C-alpha cells in the first residue's frame, strides 16, 4: 500500500511540473485544445468504468473504443461544418439556416443543464469531504460556484474562463497520470505474483445491453465546444485542436478502462455513479480515494467551465453578435442557477443527453447536405450514416444519468 502511494505521488507531482510550465500555460494551441478536452473528460471519466463493466463485463475497453469511434464520427461531421458551412451562413440557403438554428437551440438547452449538473456534482463532492450531504447546502454551494464562474465569464470573457480551464485540466491530467502509474504498478504486481485475472461478467444482455451502450455516448460528449470558439480561434486551429482533444481523450479512456477492468471482478452497483469507483479501487491503496475525489472535482469544474465557454460563444453566434460572449456567459450562469433550484438534475441530465445526440443528428445532416452539394459523395455517405446512428440513439438509447 505504501509503495503505491509513493508511485502515485511521484507521478502526479512530475506531471504537475510539466502541465504548469509556462510553455504549456501560454501555448495558444494547448489553450484551444483544453476547452473540448475539458468537456470530454468530465464526470464521464470516473463513471464510465462501473457502467460499462455492468453492461459488457471485461469487454468494457472494446465498448469504450466503439463509443470513442462514434464520437469521432460526429466530431468529423462538426469539423466539416466548421470548414464548409460556417463561412457561408450569412448567405446560406434556407434549409442550412433552419438546421443550424435548430442545432443551436438544442445545444443551448443541453449546455445550460450540463453546467448546472457538473457544478452540482462539484459541490456535492466538495461538501462530502466535510460530511455535508443535505441538498440545500449543495444547492447553495453550487449556486455560489456558478455565480462566480458567470461573473468571471462576464468580466473576462472566453480568455478568463480559459485560464481557469487550463489550470483545472492541468491538475486533472496530472492526477489521472498519477492514477495510471499507480494502476500500472498494481497490475504488474498482480501479474508477477500470479493473481492477475480478467473475470468480469456482464449483468445484462440482449437488446438492453445495446441500449445501455448507446446511452453512454454522453460520457464522451464535449468536442463540439470547438465549434463555438470562433471569436478567439481561426477555423484551422479549431479543427486541428478538436481532433487533438478527441485523440487524447480516447487514449485516456482506453488506458483507464484496461487498467481498472480487473478490479470490477467483485460486486458492482446497479448504477455506475462516480463514487462507486472509489470503493472499487480501494484495494489499490489508501491514497487513491482522495486522489479520485481531486480528479472528480477538477473534472467537473473544468467541464462546466468548458461548457459555459461553449454556451457563451453559442449565444453570441445565435444572436449574430447582438449579445456578446461575456453576456452569454452571464445568461448561462443565470439559467444554470435557475435549474439548480427548480429541478432534479439527475432527471434533467437524462433529457439533456438525448438533446446532445439530437444536436449531433442535426449537425451530421448538415454535413451530409454540404458534402453532397460539393460533390463529395463518399463523405456525404459517411455523414448520412452518422445521422442515422444519432437518430437511432435518440430513439432507443437508455440515457446515462451521469
Cell of 164: 481557469
> Per-residue pLDDT tens for 282-319?
667 666 777 777 777 888 888 888 888 888 888 887 87
Query: In this structure, are residues 115 and 336 in contact, taking their beta carbons and an 8 Å threshold?
Result: yes
Q: How far apart are CA 8 and CA 381, in angstroms?
A: 47
Query: What is this structure's pTM?
Result: 0.86
Supply the pLDDT for residue 271. 46
Query: In this structure, are residues 288 and 282 in contact, taking their beta carbons and an 8 Å threshold?
Result: yes
Please give the average per-residue pLDDT across 98-102, as a whole number: 93
The mean predicted confidence, pLDDT, of the chain is: 84
Least confident of 13-27, 156-170, 241-255: 156-170
Domains of the chain: 2-396 (1.20.1740.10)
- Residue of 382, 312, 372 whose CA lies nearest to 93: 372
Supply the pLDDT for residue 402. 42
How is the chain split among helix, strand and coil, in percent rounded to 5? 85, 0, 15
Please give the average per-residue pLDDT across 104-122, as a whole number: 85
User: Given a cut of 90, is residue 388 above it in pLDDT?
Assistant: yes
Q: How far apart are CA 354 and CA 219, in angstroms?
A: 12
Say which DSSP state 265 is in. Answer: G
Amino acid at each position: 500500500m505504501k509503495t503505491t502511494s509513493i508511485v502515485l505521488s511521484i507521478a502526479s507531482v512530475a506531471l504537475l511540473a510539466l502541465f504548469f510550465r509556462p510553455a504549456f500555460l501560454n501555448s495558444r494551441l494547448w489553450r484551444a485544445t483544453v476547452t473540448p478536452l475539458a468537456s470530454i473528460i468530465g464526470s464521464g471519466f470516473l463513471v464510465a468504468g462501473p457502467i460499462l463493466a455492468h453492461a459488457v463485463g471485461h469487454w468494457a475497453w472494446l465498448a469504450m473504443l466503439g463509443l470513442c469511434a462514434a464520437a469521432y464520427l460526429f466530431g468529423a461531421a462538426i469539423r466539416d461544418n466548421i470548414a464548409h458551412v460556417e463561412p457561408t451562413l450569412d448567405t446560406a440557403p434556407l434549409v442550412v439556416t433552419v438546421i443550424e438554428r435548430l442545432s443551436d437551440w438544442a445545444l443551448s438547452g443541453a449546455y445550460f443543464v450540463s453546467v448546472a449538473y457538473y457544478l452540482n456534482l462539484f459541490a456535492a463532492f466538495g461538501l462530502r469531504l466535510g460530511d455535508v450531504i443535505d441538498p440545500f447546502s449543495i444547492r447553495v454551494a453550487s449556486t455560489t460556484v456558478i455565480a462566480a464562474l458567470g461573473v468571471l465569464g462576464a468580466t473576462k470573457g472566453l480568455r478568463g474562463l480559459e485560464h481557469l480551464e487550463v489550470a483545472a485540466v492541468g491538475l486533472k491530467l496530472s492526477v489521472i497520470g498519477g492514477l495510471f502509474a499507480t494502476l500500472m504498478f498494481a497490475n504488474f504486481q498482480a501479474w508477477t505474483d500470479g493473481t492477475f485475472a480478467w473475470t468480469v461478467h456482464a449483468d445484462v444482455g440482449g437488446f438492453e445491453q445495446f441500449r445501455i451502450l448507446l446511452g453512454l455516448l454522453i460520457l464522451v460528449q464535449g468536442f463540439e465546444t470547438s465549434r463555438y470558439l470562433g471569436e478567439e480561434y481561426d477555423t484551422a486551429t479549431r479543427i486541428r485542436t478538436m481532433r487533438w482533444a478527441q485523440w487524447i481523450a480516447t487514449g485516456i479512456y482506453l488506458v483507464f478502462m484496461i487498467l481498472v477492468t480487473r478490479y470490477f471482478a467483485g460486486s458492482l452497483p446497479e448504477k455506475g455513479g462516480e463514487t462507486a469507483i472509489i470503493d472499487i479501487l480501494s484495494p489499490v491503496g489508501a491514497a487513491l480515494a482522495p486522489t479520485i475525489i481531486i480528479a472528480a472535482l477538477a473534472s467537473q469544474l473544468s467541464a462546466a467551465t468548458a461548457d459555459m465557454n461553449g454556451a457563451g460563444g453559442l449565444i453570441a453566434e445565435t444572436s449574430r453578435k447582438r449579445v456578446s460572449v461575456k453576456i452569454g456567459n452571464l445568461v448561462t450562469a443565470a439559467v444554470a442557477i435557475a435549474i439548480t433550484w427548480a429541478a432534479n438534475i439527475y432527471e434533467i441530465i437524462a433529457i439533456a443527453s438525448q438533446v446532445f445526440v439530437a444536436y449531433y443528428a442535426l449537425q451530421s445532416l448538415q454535413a451530409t447536405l454540404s458534402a453532397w452539394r460539393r460533390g463529395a459523395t463518399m463523405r456525404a455517405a459517411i455523414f448520412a450514416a452518422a445521422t442515422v446512428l444519432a437518430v437511432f440513439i435518440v430513439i432507443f438509447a437508455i440515457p446515462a444519468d451521469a
